[in-house]
Amino acid sequence: MVVVSSPKVAKELFQKYDHVYTSKLVPDSARAFDHHKFSVIWLPANSKWRNLRKLCKEQLFSSERLNASQGLRQEKVQQLCNYVHGFCINGEAVDIREAAFTTIVNVVSNTFFSADFGHYESNSSQELKEIISAVLGIIAKPNLSDYFLVLRAIDPQGIRRQIKFYFRKLLQIFDEIISQRLKEREKSLAYCRRNDLLEVLLDLTQLRKTEWSIEDAKHLLLDLFIAAFDTTTSTVEWAMAELLRNPEKMEKAKTEIREVIGHRKLIQESDISALPYLLAIVKETFRLYPPVSIMSRHYEADIEIDQYIVPKNAVVLVNLWAIGRDSSVWSNPDSFVPERFLDSEIDVKGHHFELLPFSTGRRICVGMPLAERMLHLILASLIHNFDWKLEDGMKPEEMDMREKLGITMQKAVHLKAIPIKATM
């Protein structure tokens, strides 16, 4: 195992050897229900993987499709603001993570299925959150079966069995929705098509029966569901936590938004590009708290990195957390300073190796375009529509900012804050 903790070495690794990198080292947990044979995350770079990437890029996360669905995201963020407004009236604290999670659940479930999966006042989104959190927590556990392959047959820690339990729950949800949609498509002559991913996937099963199946569709949905929620939710929570801990940064962001938005309550996605300080806040949050703190790579040939030979079949880990806090790259690396990005060309699209929250190269996150839109819209709306204070008279410097490491980097203690209706 080789660990890379410098952007210079990471750049050499990714730019020079991206074509040599053929697959990730598939953990035993990803083999539940043969998920690794369908997964855009775990498949090697073969024709099936390329077709899945193309489908995601062209049918789900293209600019045209995202522009067409921006009204949906606007509606869900407005529902979030209405929910938070109820806490304003009662003077109660909002659990930022739970509120953001429910919003993101509904954006994603409507994008995929034209249906809400979460409700702010019920346990439905909590149950889904528990399933996804359990999956991520189990995958993050060190598994003896990944180091001693002979043990895979007996699964000594029960990790694959646990994952299978939660995968089954999600796949059953997808089964029910797909079956219902197929019945509607077959029986109704006046069937009204939905503008969602499921419609596209079912069309593909009819047009390309030899290369695309319902099973392919379910496993793609499984990938996208697991990847979408926790990473975006944790980034919203970390950004709000840092802004509450640095009130002058919060005020600066609020002022910028008001200068651009004026007295409008609703922020449009088209407004985001005119908010450089907001964009800098998100980049700085990614630097300090990368959603996935470590990227793994597996090369099936010897490679040379920084004059060292890395033997084939070695696991190469790129430590994004360490790169984001490298004092030779960043001044005051442990401080939250969005201003560092105001006059910087660094972006998060995989071109700058100091900041790789969505990975880079051929394996860059397929959901990045949607994640960026959701993140900025939710954060801007929470900043613009409300003033915030910590509960129980807590001072900003007293906030608990401990991290809980796993597949994603979460805040160990949920952020709770009291919203106050902002004066426009």
pLDDT, tens digit (0-9, with 9 covering 90-100), for 33-57: 999 999 998 888 888 999 899 989 9
CB–CB of 369/63 below 8 Å? yes
User: For residue 193, is pLDDT > 80?
Assistant: yes
- The amino acid that residue 293 corresponds to is S
The average pLDDT across 62-68 equals 92
User: For residue 424, is pLDDT > 80?
Assistant: no
- The amino acid that residue 398 corresponds to is E
Percent of the chain past pLDDT 70, that is, above it, reads 97
The average pLDDT across 136-156 equals 90
Q: pLDDT value at position 123?
A: 67
Q: pLDDT value at position 1?
A: 86
Q: pLDDT value at position 125?
A: 63
The average pLDDT across 261-281 equals 93
Q: pLDDT value at position 23?
A: 60
The average pLDDT across 398-407 equals 86
Question: Bigger pLDDT: 301 or 335?
Answer: 335
Q: Which residues pair with 305 in a beta bridge?
A: 308
CB–CB of 338/307 below 8 Å? no
Q: How far apart are CA 8 and CA 328, in angstroms?
A: 11
The average pLDDT across 255-275 equals 92
Tell me what percent of the chain is helix, strand and coil, each rounded to the nearest 5.
Answer: 60, 10, 30
User: For residue 356, is pLDDT > 70?
Assistant: yes
Residue 25 gets which letter from DSSP?
-
User: For residue 342, is pLDDT > 70?
Assistant: yes
- Total-model pTM: 0.93
Give long-range contacts, CB 8 A cutoff, 24+ apart: 264-273: 265/81, 265/384, 265/385, 265/424, 266/74, 266/78, 267/77, 267/377, 267/380, 267/381, 267/384, 268/70, 268/74, 269/70, 269/73, 269/74, 269/373, 269/376, 269/377, 271/380, 272/373, 272/376, 272/377, 272/380
In this structure, of 233-237, 276-280, 337-341, 363-367, the range with the lowest mean pLDDT score is 363-367
Averaged pLDDT score across all residues of the chain: 90
Greatest mean pLDDT among 12-26, 109-123, 160-174, 298-312 lies in 160-174
Strands 416-421 and 386-390, sheet pairing: antiparallel
User: For residue 245, is pLDDT > 80?
Assistant: yes
Q: pLDDT value at position 152?
A: 94
370: three-class secondary structure by DSSP: helix
In the chain, what are the domain boundaries? 2-421
CB–CB of 92/83 below 8 Å? no
Quickly list DSSP for 107-173.
HHHHHHHSS----TTSSHHHHHHHHHHHHHHHHHS--HHHH-GGGGGT-TT-HHHHHHHHHHHHHHH
Q: pLDDT value at position 207?
A: 82
pLDDT bin (cut points 50, 70, 90) of residue 140 is confident
Q: How far apart are CA 29 and CA 42, in angstroms?
A: 11
CATH topology for the 2-421 domain = Cytochrome p450 (1.10.630)
